Amino acid sequence: MKIKFFLFVVVALMGAGDLQAQAVSKVGTSAAPFLAIEVGGRALAMGGAFVATADDATALYWNPAGLSRLNKTMVTMSHTQWIADIAFDHAGVSIPLSSADAIGLSVTSLSMDEMQVRTIFYPEGTGEYFGSTDLALSGSYSRSLTDRFSIGFTGKYVQQKLWHMSASAMALDVGVLFTTQLHDMRLGMSISNFGSKMRLQGIDTQVNYDVSPTTAGNNDKIIAHLQTDNWSMPLIFRVGAALDVINRARHRLTCAVDAVHPSDNAEYVNVGAEYALYNSIFVRAGYKSLFLKDSEEGVTLGGGLAYHMLSTVNLRIDYAYLDFGILNAVHRFSLGFDF
């Protein structure tokens, strides 16, 4: 076991040692930032170090290459009261087509309660209300090319709505997963949200325009639209390793590390561990955004229970506690089935 753990630490340090803080982090320069909100109580309790594990239905988010390794139909659902009373919801299902390939579908949404429209002249409200909703619909396919190497793809439709304005785009995720012969250590990599740019459009950009203001009698109320800027979605590159330091019939201890390179922030590292007793009781801990300057994220804790309901149906409940510093803690629950 000591040799296993030593080898795992060496690989982890090799992946994380070259990370350097960027002079300009580009925070706040992406459209659809909700795509960077991670999913799954299990993965989040492990500090978000999950790209090389990806062995449940949340692989739809973390690494679609993991889907082909699931030999059952799996369902995951979660609802979270996110920061500032924002609601975050995610649901996904993975379906094996054969022993070598699988498909998956997922939906993710971010929404808020309606708020009053206020202006300079009506600071107490105009009587109107506005809302904001973000939505992502995804479809995935994964195939195991060998018994140790698998690849996966996800296509997604992304939409953002803010009162009368909306923007939409298409994006692609790609992932690979490899199980080495070095104590079955798993290596994973994924690229998420590679796609077209987004531009808000709607009646709020509509203006009346006079093509020739110096010409008398011409139409000075031609309907025109102000052109808004295009913004890229948050492109995220993850590479990680996971190792079962202890793997026995009664209990298991898994350690994992991910190095993350987002397009709108500096690089950082996530680390985590999961202890499983009889594959029914789980205790997890981790640390998010290691080496990321000015990050409010940090310690993650959680656990889970797996319960055999019927002859072919298993229920799983996972919980994660996320420390967000001055933004207070966020509690993440997820519910899963497999059959």
pLDDT on residue 33: 93
The rounded distance, in Å, linking the Cα atoms of 210 and 223 is 9
Confidence band, pLDDT 50/70/90 cuts, at residue 225: confident
Tokens of 319: 């919980």
State the pLDDT at residue 99.
92
Residue 16 lies in a domain: no
Per-residue pLDDT, 59:
97
Give pLDDT, residue 36. Answer: 94
Q: What is the pLDDT of residue 151?
A: 98
Q: Is residue 186 part of a domain?
A: yes
DSSP for 71-128 reads -S-EEEEEEEE-GGG-EEEEEEEEEESSSSEEEEEEEEEEE---EE---SS-TT--S-
- Of 27-31, 130-134, 198-202, 273-277, the one with minimum mean pLDDT is 27-31
For the chain, the domain total comes to: 1
Q: What is the mean pLDDT of residues 247-257?
A: 95
Query: Domain containing 117: what range?
Result: 2-8+41-197+232-338
Under 8 Å between Cβ of 9 and 137: no
d(CA 194, CA 32): 12
Task: Return the pLDDT at 92.
Answer: 98
With respect to residue 122, please indicate whether it lies within any of the assigned structural domains.
Answer: yes
Position 12 scores a pLDDT of 47
Measure CA 260 to chain center: 12
- Which CATH number fits the domain that encloses residue 190? 2.40.160.60
pLDDT of residue 191: 98
Mean pLDDT value of segment 215-238? 87
In the structure, how many helices (H) and strands (E) does the chain have?
3, 19
Task: Give the residue carrying structure tokens 């997922």.
Answer: 106
Mean pLDDT of 203-232: 84
Q: Looking at the domain assignment, is residue 14 inside a domain?
A: no
In which band, very low, low, confident or very high, does the pLDDT at 289 lie, cut at 50, 70 and 90? very high
Two structure tokens written together for 105: 């579908």
pLDDT, mean of residues 151-177: 96
State how far the Cα of 221 lies from the Cα of 207, in Å rounded to an integer. 8
Q: Is residue 222 part of a domain?
A: no
- Residues of the chain with pLDDT > 70, as a percent, come to 93
Indicate if the pLDDT at residue 196 is higher than 80: yes
d(CA 335, CA 306): 10
Q: Does the structure show a pLDDT above 60 at 80?
A: yes
Question: Span 134-150, mean pLDDT?
Answer: 97
pLDDT reported for residue 157: 98
Q: What is the pLDDT of residue 25?
A: 67
Tokens linked to 63: 């690494």
320 domain-assigned: yes
Query: Using one digit for the tens of pLDDT, what is the confidence trace for 1-55?
Result: 544 444 444 444 444 444 444 456 678 788 999 999 999 999 999 999 999 999 9
Mean pLDDT value across the chain:
90
Query: Is pLDDT larger for residue 14 or for residue 161?
Result: 161
Predicted local confidence at residue 296, as pLDDT = 84
pLDDT of residue 20: 45
Structural domain includes residue 31: no
Residue 75 has pLDDT above 80, yes or no: yes
pLDDT band at 294; cut points 50, 70, 90: confident
**Can you spell out the DSSP letters for 248-314?**
-SSEEEEEEEEEEEETTS--EEEEEEEEEETTTEEEEEEEEEET-TT----EEEEEEEEEE-SSS-E
* Residue 27 lies inside a defined structural domain of this protein: no
pLDDT of residue 227: 87
- Stretch (H or E) spanning 108: strand 101-111
